[in-house]
Chains A and B, each alone.
Chain A
Amino acid sequence: MTTTSPASVLSMTGVSKRFGAVQALKDIEFGVDSGEVVALVGDNGAGKSTLVKCIAGVYPPDDGHVVFDNSPVTITSPAQAQELGIATVFQDLALCDNLDVVSNLYLGSEVVRNRALDEVTMEKESWRLLRELSAKIPSVRIPVASLSGGQRQTVAIARSLLGKPKVVMLDEPTAALGVAQTAEVLNLVERLRENGLGVILISHNMSDVMAVADRVVVLRLGRNNGEFRVSDTNVQEIIAAITGATTNAVSARAARKAPQEEQA
């Protein structure tokens, strides 16, 4: 159904990826429409990050068909993915510790003026972008090595918004963030959707997923294990698909505490 949607910006079928003896992804079907937020969920090691990296051109998939903007593509490099309009915030943040915030934000897409780097424009735009994300970064001229985990995360997110992406992938973007900043990122995800971008969000936080996603795709042990519209599902159902059982540690615990947590 996603693959045939007229608004589909990215869709893939039969995607597989092996790492030596590990079948990290097997026959994955996945896609996102423009103006849609898809949450990709699954337990640790389910293959979420691997799928993101396949789409981002970091690991070319072994097998499968990818259609981007209604034309078949083979994404073989990160540069190609960026040219197509796929922006990614990786879970293992891809920042250069020796470079400052501005250099990291514009890495690979520097602003050039008279054939030299236009540091002034880049610095000005960096501030604008970081303010927009309510980032608490004291100076953009310090090496990112000196930033906290959350600040680094913000830099990585800001990075993905430069250029004009059609699809933004966020791999556990709020894992290192404080309360206010998490809310800010969720606002950002909604803003991206309003602007007609396709957003792929990976998160372990079910309340975040239920709050912003339109659709939830569940991976389990490298395979598709269910797909839900947020409007007609609940957390229990998703958790059951993630853990692969209707009775599991999470639901058993939930059942014990049922009275006070029913409404959550």
Chain B
Amino acid sequence: MSTPDTPTAAPTEAEITDPTAVPADVRPADLQDERLIASQGFGGWASATWGRLRSGDLGSLPVVVGLVLIWGVFYALEPAFLSSRNLVNLSLQMVAVGTIAIGVVLVLLLGEIDLSIGSMSGLAAAILAVLFVARETSVIIAVLAALGAGALVGLLYGTLFNRFGVPSFVITLAGLLALLGLQLRVLGNQGTINLPFESSLVRFASQQFLPVWLAYVLAVLAPAVYALSAWRRNARRAEAGLSTTPLSRLALRALGLAAILIIVVAVLNRDRGVSYMFLAFLVLVVIMDLAIRRTTWGRSVLAIGGNVEAARRAGINVKRIYLSVFTLCSTFAALGGIFAASRLASANQSSGGGDTNLNAIAAAVIGGTSLFGGRGSAYSALLGILVIQSISNGLDLLAVESNVKFMVTGAVLLLAVIIDSLSRRSRAAHGRA
């Protein structure tokens, strides 16, 4: 999971290390088993990666390939698709549903689902607008109230789930309707509430961009922090007598990341730049990724997604984890609703309606988080929403009607689910379930 350098490729004759060639005690503690296939140098890395892919451990490869294809097709049909102007638009459009998708990743990791995220985001938008515009409270209070409503709804779901053992899709299906009703009620007979264009929220969501220099500094800083932490981890592993990742590979990864980030920043800066809201979304993704991979809480979430009974017997407080995840998911949905209302400068009866719900779930799944629980990463929210929003944005540019848009998005989701199921079967056959 966390050591991509683990050599686990299927054996091919040339690679099997001769156990007599190296005295056992010279090798690091985790590489002494003679059945392990050494993955030295680039060739070893390549063959290990190939073996992993072949066994169905696809990771994010299908999404990346899919994204390149989608961008290629749209660029061929309409070159403006890859213009800086459109890519900045894309970066603004994807934030709201992408944020909701982060919460979806969390519930999917548990092997559960939340079908009411769209309604929840709509309700949060309504609460925000009513408090901020009609009641004239401060922004902070309006935002906190909207987020608090999300947290409360999530707590309620978690409690119902823990207490009565009702499947989460039933609870949240009921929630979908109830929250929609609540949203209409909160909006009252006005139906639509517009947020003033000069308000800080609207400006944050559409007009505030990082200074050029700051964007570049961050694009260099992020890979540097990555490299530093990987290097420190290497040092600790060496001290503990464990294998380390070759420095060349670390440097390659850090430089690759830096190259990608700098290109993204350069392209976006040719137009308006990197928006603060987009940066906030990226930061949330990184934080949740660390929470999933590096904390006891995240480990518990993955364990429950893999085998609830085992997690329970290991002494994990399973109910507390369910409660926390449902709460987080609804809160992320509320935050997504706040972003959406801010970007569109309005909350109305159809906020959070339409395809919001399915797009958020589709984003998580397309990004590579398994519907079957226990597998996935926060980055799938980012990758998945990039795919979905690219399709939506591209079809809009081509002035295709929304009925086609729905069908195309549906087909992509179906494809993602099929890939998920197939790779699950293949993992089972290759012992990587």
Contacts and interface: CB of A to CB of B under 8 A. Distances in A.
Given A103-B1, A143-B433, A98 B305 contact: yes
Contacts of A137: 33
Chain B: interface residue count, which band? 35 or more
Choose among A95, A98, A100 the residue with the greatest number of B CB atoms under 10 Å from its CB.
Answer: A98
A227 interface: no
B295 A117 contact: yes
Contact of B242 (A82, A107, A123): A123
Contacts of A99: 1, 299, 302-303, 306, 374
B192 interface: no
Interface string B217-256: 0000000000000000100110011100000000000000
Given A98-B302, A99-B303, A117-B294, A124 B241 contact: yes
Contacts of A123: 30, 237, 240, 242
Nearest to A81: B315
A187 interface: no
Contacts of B233: 120
A96 B302 contact: yes
B6 interface: yes
B36 interface: yes
Nearest to A110: B296
Nearest to B109: A98
A99 B298 CA distance: 12
A142 B8 contact: yes
Contacts of A127: 29-30, 242
Given A97-B306, A97-B307, A139-B8, A146 B35 contact: no
Interface string B395-433: 000000000000000000000000000000001101111
B313 A88 contact: yes
Given A96-B307, A120-B236, A78 B314 contact: yes
B316 to A, nearest CB: 5
A100 B432 CA distance: 10
B12 interface: no
B141 interface: no
B207 interface: no
A108 interface: yes
Contacts of A115: 295
A143 B2 CA distance: 11
Contact of B316 (A108, A116, A124, A140): A108
Interface in A22-67: 56, 58
Interface in A159-175: none
Given A98-B306, A100-B1, A117-B296, A141 B431 contact: no
B432 A145 contact: yes
Nearest to B293: A117
Interface of A: 56, 58, 77-79, 81-83, 88, 90, 94-100, 103, 107-110, 112, 115-117, 119-121, 123-124, 127, 136-143, 145-147
Interface of B: 1-3, 6-8, 29-30, 33, 35-36, 233, 236-237, 240-242, 290, 294-296, 299-300, 302-303, 305-307, 309-317, 374-375, 427-428, 430-433
Given A99-B306, A103-B299, A116-B295, 14 more contacts: A56-B313, A78-B315, A90-B313, A94-B313, A98-B305, A98-B375, A108-B314, A117-B299, A119-B2, A120-B233, A120-B240, A127-B29, A137-B33, A146-B431
What are the 6 tightest A-B residue pairs by CB atom distance, in nearest-first order?
A146-B431, A108-B314, A96-B306, A98-B306, A145-B433, A79-B315
